[in-house]
Structure 1
């Protein structure tokens, strides 16, 4: 087989690899804005998800300083807070964000602001105004 055909076949094979074939800067463990949870961003199926890997606290974001009264009684460990994440424009990711405090799921956008800062922004939601800044978990390397 000529070299040009082998190179073309190799390039096509690489293009067909799933999104998660190579590690992305967003991959890894992140601490939520409230400091309550450690969430791991990783491939799941043909997209990416954010799954709770550690519970660090129980503070409400809507009532700062108060204990969180979750609308969802399911155990939080192992819960997927971010689902169907896919790369979008300008280095941003689009997906869905689950809010434990009210039991609702919202469209969201993620953007890596710095190697240790991930902006999580709910889309079109008055109840969850503003973006959250998540920090990379200790010991994680970008």
Structure 2
């Protein structure tokens, strides 16, 4: 009689348990880091380098809400990998679900809208974030991890089903030839 090998099954259970433990530990560490910094409602205002380091988003307060738009992008024109019909042309919002908006350029494009500060939890909630890479808009919330770092969580439905990205505060400047148009602000110690 053949007895099923349960070693592989238990190994997968332990691997899954270890993965869950690591995820919980990293989420707890980020939460602890965010709890040690108590931001003011306007702490989110400024210029932020996205995690992929290929764009800077300027967040401004408009009324009692906060909104962000692109002020710089590493690739503002299409390259040869985008095909001969696009090569060298200005990057546009070509994945937008509204055909009338597909020809607008990404420079100045509003990406972050409707965020409002929630003082009792020191976070910004009820926001929307537009992803120009796929033309989709997601719910979002923002937590400050310190004066020069923020964590944005994009999600569908409830925040449990989403992903995080960390942005770094920068100061925009007029670049010297061959240099970037910003400098990263020093992280708080």
TM-score relative to the length of structure 2: 0.51
Q: Please identify the structure whose Cα radius of gyration is greater.
A: 2
Distance in 2 separating the partners of 1:47 and 1:119: 18
Q: Does 1:110 align with 2:142?
A: yes
Distance in 2 separating the partners of 1:119 and 1:79: 21
1:3-56 Cα shifts (integer Å, max 9, x gaps): xxxxxxxxxxxxxxxxxxx97211100011221211111112441100111112
Unaligned runs of 5+ in 2: 1-39, 83-90, 97-101, 171-182
RMSD of aligned alpha carbons: 3.1
Unaligned runs of 5+ in 1: 1-21, 59-65
Q: Does 1:85 align with 2:85?
A: no
1:89-127 Cα shifts (integer Å, max 9, x gaps): 5111111100111111111010110111110101237xx
TM-score relative to the length of structure 1: 0.66
- Alpha-carbon distance, 1:78 to partner: 0.7
Q: Does 1:26 align with 2:44?
A: yes
User: Comparing both chains, which one has the higher relative contact order based on Cα–Cα distances under 8 Å and sequence gaps of 6 or more?
Assistant: 1
